[in-house]
Structure 1
Amino acid sequence: MCKGGRMRTVAQQRGEASTRRMIEATRALLAEGGLTAVTVAAVARRAGTSNGSLYHRFGDRQGLLLAVQDSLLTALESEAVAAMEEAVVLEPQEAAARAVGEALRLFADYRPVLRAFFVEGQSIDAFVDRNARCTHLLAAQAESLLVERLGMTPTRAAAVYRVLFSVGAAQSLFTEDQMRQGPVAQDELAAVLTRLVSPGGQ
């Protein structure tokens, strides 16, 4: 009985490792070429497994993409919440700078994910629903910080969040060269946004 239990545990561990490889392969393909780069064959080849194994674990390509979307957006949400919790205990000016810096970092780190699921995946209802849960959570966290720590009215906090989100959306949609001739330094962008977010900022 114990031997059988150990064998099942080993099998489960192998199955979990295989699932992780498939998810990691999908993430890599998303970063390289967006949703169109993610095919069952491409994921299976990169993960070192079979098409049948992928179908067995995820049902189909969309099931795989939904699993990857959920894992990535959950990670994004966790990082954003942690950043806001750290910022809320700081002095207002420092809290504003921290919030802006973390927002820009997250938009940059998750650019392939945001582009794939928020832009390319807009025609797929299941993606849209999960995207909305993510953005609504981020909005609630950010606006709470702006109101409670920086003394903004809810209306102004909502407007400031919209500006920050728009910057992130632009970074997901376009490269620097597509937006203007020559890049804008990230520290200058952060400084401008920090003034907007800071108490009394214009």
Structure 2
Amino acid sequence: MLDAAAALLEDGGLAAVTVAAVADRAGTSNGSLYHRFGDRAGLVRALHERSFTAMLEETAAAFRDADALTDDEEAARHLAEAALAIFGRHRAALRAFLVEVADDPAVEARNAEVTASIRAVVVDWLVRRFGASPAGAEDAFALLYALGASQALVGPTTMTPGAVATAVLALSRR
């Protein structure tokens, strides 16, 4: 059911994620969806959790991979590529959960929690790997977050991973 909801979200935004449409796409009944999630709001919260957990896991994996790279420029470029790919894969979820239902207290709280977790990973890594000042690392995170938000709102960026890496390194090293 969550796979069906994610596909509908990707195809038509949050408005397309209705109980009937999810049940139809999943090949199940409305009743089984209500039984599992309670209502549409429960389904949306489960989709939110699944989407943001995936983003956290993908971010952690990208940093593990970058830690294995000895060249700092290569590591920064790898992370820029990963960030752009993560933003692209989760564009519909970012748009839905950062914009469309951000006023739901449960969604807002989870958004803040996930953002803080990703911020901590990014800032800590930049400080540890490059000796960045905390302020420089925070600025670099803000740039990445703004890039992700802009992709969610207006579509894929034309920025290259090299340009993103250069900007992150410049902010980190100032």
TM over 0.5: yes
Q: Equivalent residue for 1:37?
A: 16
Name the CA distance, whole Å, in 2 between partners of 1:64 and 1:104: 27
Q: In 1, are the aligned partners of 2:132 and 2:173 still within 8 Å (CA)?
A: no
Q: Equivalent residue for 1:71?
A: 50
Give SS of 1:45's match. Answer: helix
Question: Shift in Å at residue 115 of structure 1?
Answer: 0.7
Q: In 1, are the aligned partners of 2:143 and 2:168 still within 8 Å (CA)?
A: no
Q: Provide the aligned length of Structure 1 versus Structure 2.
A: 172
Larger Rg: 1
Q: Equivalent residue for 1:156?
A: 136
Match of 1:129 among 100, 109, 132: 109
TM-score by length of 1: 0.80
Name the CA distance, whole Å, in 2 between partners of 1:101 and 1:145: 16
Q: Equivalent residue for 2:169?
A: 198
Name the CA distance, whole Å, in 2 between partners of 1:167 and 1:131: 16
Name the CA distance, whole Å, in 1 between partners of 2:150 and 2:25: 31
More divergent stretch after superposition (104-113 vs 84-93): 84-93
Q: Deviation per CA, 1:79-135, whole angstroms, max 9, x where unpaired? A: 101111221232211111111111111101110110111111112111111111111
Please list every run of 5 or more consecutive structure 2 residues that lacks an aligned counterpart in the other structure.
Answer: none
Match of 1:112 among 92, 108, 118: 92
Name the CA distance, whole Å, in 2 between partners of 1:53 and 1:62: 15
Give SS of 2:130's match. Answer: coil
Q: Equivalent residue for 1:15?
A: none
Name the CA distance, whole Å, in 2 between partners of 1:99 and 1:145: 11
Question: Shift in Å at residue 198 of structure 1?
Answer: 2.5
Name the CA distance, whole Å, in 2 between partners of 1:128 and 1:164: 20
Q: In 2, are the aligned partners of 1:31 and 1:112 still within 8 Å (CA)?
A: yes
Name the CA distance, whole Å, in 2 between partners of 1:34 and 1:62: 15
Name the CA distance, whole Å, in 2 between partners of 1:171 and 1:197: 17
Q: In 2, are the aligned partners of 1:195 and 1:201 still within 8 Å (CA)?
A: no
Superposed CA RMSD: 1.7
TM-score by length of 2: 0.92
**Percent pairwise identity:** 42
Name the CA distance, whole Å, in 1 between partners of 2:62 and 2:145: 16
Q: Equivalent residue for 1:12?
A: none
